[in-house]
Amino acid sequence: MWLTAGESVASRTSRDVLGRGLGVLRQAIREQPRIFAVAVVGSVLFGSMVIVSAYVVGAVVGDVVVPAIARGEVGVGTLALAAVALFGISVLRVVGIFGRRLGAGYMQYRLQAAYRRRVTRRYLDLPLSWHHRNATGTLLSNANSDVEAAWYPIAPLPFAVGTLVMLVGAIVSLFVTDWALALVGLAVFPALFALNVVYSRRMAPRQARAQRLRAEVSGIAHESFDGALVVKTMGREAQETARFAGRAGELRDALIAVGRLRGVFDPLLETLPSLGTLAVLVVGAFRLRQGAINVTELVSVAFLFTVLAFPVRAIGWVLAELPRSVAGWDRVRRVLDATGEMPYGQRVLDPALSGPATLTFTDVHFSYPPAEAHQPGAQVLGEVGFTVPAGRTVALVGPTGAGKSTIASLAVRLVDPDSGTVELDGVDVRDLTAASLAGTVALVAQVPFVFDDTVRANVALDRAGIDDEDVWAALRLAEADGFVAALPDGLDTMVGERGTSLSGGQRQRLTLARALAGRPRLLVLDDATSAVDPRVEAAILAGLRASAGEPGVPAASILVVAYRRATIALADEVVYVEQGRVVARGTHSELLATVAGYVDLVTAYEQAEVDRAQERAYDDEVAQLPSGLEIEVDH
């Protein structure tokens, strides 16, 4: 889906690329008009001084140098006046350059920063289903290299605008000076524009392909780094290296193609103004012999062509970067224009309520959107209805793929149902404000995410009203205070990226403490303690039930996706789901007596736990054996 952005740009005509590129530039000017105006004023000042300097140099040569040579002496006063004039013009040119560069740079970096924020904000607004359809590496590229590419032409843009003003002034000056020299200018300047248009047309597909490959290389790198554990344990280092090298090689070739094209056109763009200067000298010498112009005018025009060569290139720079800009802009707009965000309502749950919340599912249906627009979505849930009463613990049990995690996501409104309602204290969660929902419900997901920060920062998340005492209380409730106290710096210990310095169970307990520190009224645990020892898991849930409402302990209702028998037995009620539907509800003992599928599932879970416990015991025994002692195993 994302690759078509670059391909579509590559197939466009140069006129379309030019039109769309100018549209991107207009957008930039509308967003930063004052800064752009400062940059353009500086550029126009520079351009005006270039034209003035050409005529001052011509006057110096024609009226000072040539007469001085003829007389054999130099007039000191006249020479000093010429020097002052040239120095004053140089100062004004420096002021113009400073204003132009400062304004252009400030404008470019402000736009890049603003659009990085907008893209990131949009990522956070879009639902998880949208993120699942787009690779993380591509999204990183959108927020970084695509934003940079979109606004890359901003740097030379004020210079190009000032150059246009300068060219108009130069052509008018040429006609005022001599019509024959003006015709040379009218031949050279359009040739420069035509060459730039051809350059832009040839460059468009190359820049678009390079921009697309940048995203692909970023995506492969992110997958390899994020999946380092899988890559290493499966012995796929060589294959991943080869996969990355192949795509990096394509990017290299694409950038070489861009550089090769520049290598062809850059000398032409440099040479054409020089040829114009040569033509001016030839035609000018002929006109000088005819008496149509004088030495001052010839030197001025020749000098003007010489100094115009560099500013005219600014127009070429803008045109050359437009294809890349359009490619980046299209990829950024695909994010900003993406639909599917879940708008929040305006209702707020009574802030005076501090007791557990009631969660109610009523006839909920849900389907994940298809990967392709023409495909139907797969239904995950149908006619789901149950209640988590205030202060009660409900266990959600079912085979893999039954929809348990989807129910947990609906409970905290990570996704919205296709039909039916999910209510907190009788209010549809879609009608609540974001702050009210976040302050009421907390989710601890299957895969714990830990920030590359301190333990304190990971638990508190810079939320108002959470001090160290609250952090320790949450850690105690999550059975995490012991290992945190043993860390080198306690709460100030840096845990590393994704918590790499912690074990899986420690990360799960840390994320559980994070949820508890916010004192939620509804706690949703999506298999959140799977990496924790069963005894610790049972102690955590028993502690939540027994201590609810005590100082430092949230009085919360609990919806827990459970697998272990000890965890399920602690629940007040069990909701058993199969194939996205609620099959049975009741206590653990009631379902054991009435639902065969439930019995088979719990028995399988229990046997798996026994097998894992035996493996751990065996490993412990082997670890305690004397070094070098071999064990004979009967196969």
pLDDT value for 370: 65
DSSP 456-503: HHHHHTT-TT--HHHHHHHHHHTT-HHHHHHSTTGGG-B--GGGTTS-
For the segment 351-404, what is each residue's pLDDT rounded down to a tens digit? 666 788 899 999 999 987 665 544 555 788 988 999 999 888 899 998 888 888
Q: Where are the domains of the chain?
A: 23-177+321-340, 179-292, 359-621
- Residue showing tokens 């990522």: 123
- Per-residue H/E/C for 62-89: HHHHHHHHHHCCCCHHHHHHHHHHHHHH
User: How far apart, in whole angstroms, are the C-alpha atoms of residue 22 and residue 229?
Assistant: 47
Beta bridge partners of 442: 523
- CATH top class, domain 23-177+321-340: mainly alpha
Q: How far is CA 398 from CA 174, 238, 559, in A?
A: 85, 40, 14
pLDDT of 530 > 70? The answer is: no
Per-residue model confidence (pLDDT) at position 199: 73
Fold equal for 23-177+321-340 and 359-621: no
Where is average pLDDT lowest: 158-172, 266-280, 484-498? Answer: 266-280
41 pLDDT higher than 50: yes
Query: What is the assigned CATH class of domain 359-621?
Result: alpha beta
Strands 419-424 and 427-428: antiparallel
Using the structure block, give the residue that is written with the tokens 């030839």: 282
Is pLDDT at 468 greater than 80 in this prediction? yes
Exposure string of 289-301, with b = 16+ CB inside 10 Å and e = fewer, is eeeebbebbbbbb
Per-residue H/E/C for 262-315: HHHHHHHHHHHHHHHHHHHHHHHHHHHHHCCCCHHHHHHHHHHHHHHHHHHHHH
564: its two tokens: 């272990």
pLDDT tens figures, 197-216: 677 677 767 776 776 787 77
Tokens of 471: 């952090």
Q: How far apart are CA 366 and CA 382, in angstroms?
A: 7
- pLDDT of residue 126 exceeding 70, the answer is yes
